[in-house]
Amino acid sequence: MAKAKPPVQKNETIDLSFEDLTHEGNGVGKIDGYPLFVPYGLPGETAQVKVVKVKKNFGFGRLVKVNEASSDRVEPPCNVYYKCGGCQLQHMSYAMQLDMKHKQVKDAMHKFGHLSHVPVHPVIGMDDPWRYRNKIQIPVDEQNGQLKAGFYQKRSHKVIDMDTCLIQDEQNDRMVETVRRIAERLGISAYHEGNHRGDLRHIMVRTGQNTNDIMVVLITRTDKLPGKDKLIDEIKDTFPNVKSIVQNVNSEQTNVILGDKTTVLWGDDYIYDTIGDIKFMISPKSFYQVNPNQTKQLYDKALEYADLRGRETVIDAYCGIGTISLFLAENAKHVYGVEVVPDAVTDAKKNAKLNNIDNAEFYVGQAEKIMPWWLSQGLRPDVIVVDPPRKGCDENLLHAMLEMQPERIVYVSCNPSTLARDLRILEDGGYETKEVQPVDMFPQTNHVECVTQLVLKEEAGS
């Protein structure tokens, strides 16, 4: 029996009605049941689409012309939006963005966790979903003899020259442009991936949103930085609230931005910021949430789910620089944080000291190895908080959590699919998923963060 051919061919132009969105924000339309995924298409629209790739069970298209526009379609305010790979959702209303992310979490709960019964609350959004990022790291390139700075074009390493990025803190924006202009005038060359030559690879700027502190990090190929002293003087003169100017050397041929060697050229080793009442020291390599306003919303919900009364022992796995740990410590008897990155643990200890918090301890290591050892030593937490990377929790960590049998688990996640997968394992191990609260940490992009509460079932704990 001959296999059915797809009903469309590559390079064919067709009329298509969009009925759904993928979790990446692409429009989904069907021709005789055959799905086509098309960037920038919105549900309820009809459009002219050029077929660009055909596979056995689905294909991809390019939006040529919108025939009937959705009421949720908006004009992107960014003039490089359709070239740049930084944002994916500027063409849709913010209300639709939040609805899309809510559906993404609900679909993941159903598909990967078989948890359709679990309440997924509406996404906590921002009053103003622009200019929220406190950290920018921009590649530098040379085009037509001029130094350019901008994000990479989608699916490429071509730098899109840009004057401003509307999701970045305005100061960071101006700082990148200032550094680029000064560097060009001083004859500092851009790094070239192809021949592994040139001076300046990336410009990074970090801002304390609530302190107004600024740190500038110049990522270079070698220790050599022409006009270094003049560059420092001009940055200081232009931005008096710069607290730190740092050089990071990355001599490797790699996509990783930061190298191993970091030198403070001028000013302090750290800048500071606050989330709620907690103050944090931020170094060039610190993992610190890029949207502090929404981080406060996320952590407030995590605290609510932890339900601390001042007598609990808490473990914070994947604790980073202690951001969640220190919030928990204000309401817990004792907090144990564990993190695999030694520099992060050093920062966590400094942050605890900075805030006069003495009931939080931090350890270097893999949580999945340290937690069974803690259990063997008699440590039995009342609450465990996890905030893993996108790949989710290590399976051994999930089993260690199940062995410890805390009364409550608070799971913070940046990936609904791996969250749902892990919740299924915890449910099968004796926990009940009570509710999921998504938080929009990254407006205009397809990412969504969630915080989830699980409680130990009575029969499991008996």
Active-site residue, selected from the candidate residues 84, 87, 414, 450: 414
CB of 205 closer than 8 Å to CB of 173: no
CB of 254 closer than 8 Å to CB of 213: no
CB of 436 closer than 8 Å to CB of 120: yes
At position 126, the amino acid (one-letter code) is: M
Q: What is the pLDDT of residue 169?
A: 93
pLDDT in tens, the chain (462 residues): 456 789 999 999 999 999 999 999 999 999 999 999 999 999 999 999 999 999 999 999 999 999 999 999 999 999 999 988 889 999 999 999 999 999 999 999 999 999 999 999 999 999 999 999 999 999 999 888 888 888 887 777 788 888 889 999 999 989 999 999 999 999 999 999 888 999 999 999 999 999 999 999 999 999 999 999 999 999 999 998 999 999 999 999 998 999 999 999 999 999 999 999 999 999 998 889 999 999 999 999 999 999 999 999 999 999 999 999 999 999 999 999 999 999 999 999 999 999 999 999 999 999 989 999 999 999 999 999 999 999 999 999 999 999 999 999 999 999 999 999 999 999 999 999 999 999 999 999 999 999 999 999 986 665
CA distance 194 to 197: 8
- The class (CATH top level) of 135-275 is mainly beta
Work out whether strand 360-364 and strand 334-339 pair parallel, antiparallel, or are unpaired: parallel
Q: Residue ranges of the domains in the chain?
A: 13-68, 101-126+291-461, 135-275
Q: Which two tokens stand for residue 251?
A: 């001599």
Q: Which residues contact 239 (CB under 8 A, 6 or more apart)?
A: 171, 174, 175, 178, 214
Superfamily of domain 13-68: Nucleic acid-binding proteins (2.40.50.140)
At position 335, the amino acid (one-letter code) is: V
Same fold, 13-68 and 135-275: yes
Task: List the Cα angle 416/420/424 in 5-degree steps.
Answer: 170
Q: What is the pLDDT of residue 461?
A: 60
- Residue in the structure block whose two tokens are 């990377």: 389
CA distance 13 to 10: 9
Name the pTM for this structure: 0.93
Q: What is the pLDDT of residue 255?
A: 87
Beta bridge partners of 206: 135, 215
Residue 237's φ and ψ, nearest 5 degrees, are: -65, -35
Annotation marks residue 393 as catalytic: no
CA distance 250 to 246: 13
Burial of 194 (0-12, 13-18, 19+ CB in 10 A): exposed
CA distance 302 to 298: 6
User: Which CATH code is given to the segment(s) 101-126+291-461?
Assistant: 3.40.50.150
